[in-house]
Structure formats: C-alpha cells, structure tokens
Amino acid sequence: MGHKVKMLVEMECDDCAFSLDDPDSVQWFGQDVLMNKTEDGALYLHSNEEGDTVGRVRVLVVHNWPPKKTPNVRPNGNATA
C-alpha cells in the first residue's frame, strides 16, 4: 500500500513545451499538463536518485500562472480584451 505525502514544490521549466507568445499554448500547458486535466490526468514525479518514477502527482494549486509575459491570458485560459 502506498503513502500520501503533501508537498509544496517549485518547478523550473527550462525546456517547457509551450510558447509564452501563444495564449492557446499557455492554456494547454496550464490546464492539460500542470492541472492534470487530460484523459488520464497523469503528472509523475521522477527521482534521479531512484532512477524511476516515485509517484503520481495531483496538483492542488498553481501559483503565478500564467507567466508574466502573457498578461492577456487568465489562469482559466480565457483571453482578455
């Protein structure tokens, strides 16, 4: 049987698969990747120490989203006028 551990983490995304210049791309990354709103809702924590996946992550809150470069996109993905 597994254990639940609540953590507050900060992620640095050097090679993120979205463009800050594209509101649709920012919405996709925020909703489908960070908030796990995909078909299987999977975001996994990998440990280089273990060399394997440690567990599945359920994102509870995302702070500072969207990135400051896209002030015209709300966290829900809706563009402002």
DSSP secondary structure, the chain, as one string? -------------TT-SS-TT-HHHHHHIIIIIIT--SSS---EEEETTTTEEEEE-------S-S-TT-TTB-TTSPBP-
62 in a structural domain: yes
Residue 49: predicted pLDDT: 94
pLDDT value, residue 71: 47
Residue 48 forms part of a structural domain:
yes
> Which structural domain range is residue 32 located in?
19-68
- Total domains, the chain: 1
Asked if the structure places residue 34 within a domain, the reply is yes
Report if residue 42 sits inside a domain.
Answer: yes
Confirm whether 2 is domain-assigned: no
Give the per-residue pLDDT at 76.
Answer: 57
Above 50 in pLDDT, residue 12?
yes
Q: Is 22's pLDDT higher than 70?
A: yes
Per-residue pLDDT tens digits for 28-75: 888 888 887 766 667 888 899 999 999 888 888 888 877 776 445 555
